[in-house]
Structure 1
């Protein structure tokens, strides 16, 4: 094993300080992997000690993970330290001039391994949930055909973009009896070959009157070959169009998707 200190890429997040590390400047060749252990350090100037963050954001622990070209040699913590703790003067992390000191201990294995017909699954520590909302006006005019609604906030998605597939009159065996609703990758062709995304998601139709929403939750591996998952029998048409349901108000329907990406397969 060799030890080296590498520069840290940092930026200001809305609720926390995020830190990320590049695995060297030379890219890893496709089909190869390298193993590293690393720790991040945040200096408290007032106490002259370091806050050490490793695996699962627990203090004094190392983080072990695999890097390959598919993830760009980038790893770190979305929530390295909360903005409140980082900005608290008593903690001493942030100087009066707005500067701070961050470092890393990186242990890189000299041995690089050739991967042949092997699938690597990287589970995501402390996954974040993304909430997407689609407000569909003039719903009745759209009720006769299949519609795709693109990701309303593409900048919020870290791994991929999503879209909503809506069949207002149902599809397959549910045609004419149910509303069919699916979550799908917006650009599945952009995924690297054999890559898959493991996600838990909830599709929801909002009750705009009584807040008794109708939802469906499941987990699925999304890929270029299987880019869509959902429920063809999401809700009965008679229930959806019922005036008492609150799902369709003044011609407007609101649909939501809560998405948590749990893992990546390479």
Structure 2
């Protein structure tokens, strides 16, 4: 039984890490963004149990109003192709402000058709607010059993303690989050790649990178555009990944028939991580 009035979420997690070596905890700061569906899901960092990589996935329940869905997702590169299978037991739950934990225990069987498994109607928004939210923060966790049974050879290193991460959701006002890159003499570009100057949104800097003649699958027939994550604005605090909800748009200056694509993407810790690329066919430019 936990009493958050006597200790912080961070302290409670530290205590749990010592006792639950196969658990991964995720402190989410900014739960209201998910409850109002300004963000449609978030995922934990990869964590390893029994030689395999897993993630915790949290999102609004599909087709059910005012519920959260929580699932365990296996994302290991060894789990590819049509014939792999992993059997295991797992527990997903929430650390409360006071009283007993809230959790589900289930038997999992992941394969090509079902790489994620959990509870669609995990908890109502009302229950979450009454017992588990503290200053818009909540702590979710996934705990994998010791007996993980894959149908392929895996060499796992036993864990000595659990793992944890902090995930912060920040909403940036629209008038502070828009960047326009106007390119003159586009047809005279000779280089393969061109970059905008850096601009700041939220805690870090960004830039656009354009390939006039395409790159990857779009090479030779498309304009390709990347949003790149650069350095953080300050050196204070941890340098974790960034979850970005954004749109890339090419403006039609004649008919206002703009071309755009919206994305929900995670940027990993590495600097200059390329977030996403879209292809616009050259005939449309």
Same fold (TM over 0.5): no
Larger Rg: 1
TM-score, normalised via structure 1 length = 0.44
